[in-house]
Amino acid sequence: MSHDLTLYGVGTSRTMRAHWMLLELGLDYESLPIQSRSGETLTDEFRRLNPRHKIPVLKHGNFVLAESAAIVQYLSETFAHSTEMYVPRDAQARAEMNESCYFIMTELDAGSLYVVRRHEGLAAIYGEAPTAVASAKTYFLHNLEAMAPRIDRAPYLFGELLSAADILLTTCLDWAVVSGIALPKQAVDYQLRIARRPAYQAALKRNFPQNRG
């Protein structure tokens, strides 16, 4: 059944999240493979969709949503069956999931990895800042320790079923590895468990077509 889903964006950890969730849920969707810093996020047409001119953006019919964490949560709440994915339905369970999701997005993604990205990979744009990069890498590992009790709760952060929080955390762990951060063994074991998922592998191919064959 077609749900009129379109995803804008490929090539980054943030776009990977949306592709992965769509594929986990077995949803057909159109992928518009626009890329960051290509000028494609700055067209009038794209800025009407997302005035913050960032990918990923999801269109579901006439509903338009940006922010990778919001997209994966929306998709799981809209399309997941309770047997295939952990989707909290009451306020406290959802708040507990949000606590992890907000923590991952603020402390690991924006507060650590994106600092490294801006001042290492994108230093030509944002300037070199080796001290900030080194301390962001340390800060990442320090904050990852706080996730240890959940990461140990194998196989997934909230127990037996994958959740939106797993997609956010795994994409941060993969990004950390690419950024030269050596992960603790328990995080590597968690990554290896996740890597067995066919949808994760399919999403890597769809999101990183140039890099990963």
- By beta-carbon proximity to ligand GSH, the closer residue of 126 and 146 is 126
In sequence order, which residues have a C-beta less than 8 Å from that of residue 84 and are 6 or more positions away?
A: 24, 25, 161
Nearer to ligand GSH by Cβ, of 114 and 161: the residue is 114
Q: Considering only residues 59 through 88, tell me which ones interact with ligand GSH, judged by CB under 6 A.
A: 67-68
Q: Which residues, listed in sequence order, are joined to residue 146 by a DSSP beta bridge?
A: none
* Closest C-alpha among 102, 165, 173, 167 to residue 140: 173
Query: Cβ closer to ligand GSH: 19 or 54?
Result: 54
SS3 86: coil
> Alpha helices of the chain — where are they, by DSSP H?
13-24, 44-49, 68-79, 91-103, 114-119, 123-126, 130-145, 148-151, 164-178, 185-195, 198-207
47 in contact with ligand GSH (CB under 6 A): no
Number of residues this chain uses to bind ligand GSH (CB under 6 A): 11
Stretch that binds ligand GSH, among 47-55, 90-98, 172-180, 183-191 (CB under 6 A): 47-55
The least CB distance from residue 70 to ligand GSH, in Å, is 8
Q: Which of 19, 54, 119, 206 lies at the binding interface for ligand GSH (CB under 6 A)?
A: 54
CB of 54 to ligand GSH, least distance (A): 4
Question: 106 or 138: whose CB is closer to ligand GSH?
Answer: 106
- Report the nearest approach of ligand GSH to the CB of residue 183 (Å): 21
CA dist., res. 25 & res. 46, Å (int): 26
- How many Å is the Cα radius of gyration of the chain? 17
Q: Which of residues 18-37 bind ligand GSH (CB under 6 A)?
A: 36-37
Residues 53 and 151: their CA atoms lie apart, in Å, by 33
Q: What is the dihedral of CA 70, 74, 80, 82, to 10 degrees?
A: 80
Q: Return the residue of 8, 14, 25, 151 that touches ligand GSH, per CB under 6 A.
A: 14
Q: Does 7 bind ligand GSH (CB under 6 A)?
A: no
Chain residues in the site for ligand GSH (CB under 6 A): 12, 14, 36-37, 41, 53-56, 67-68
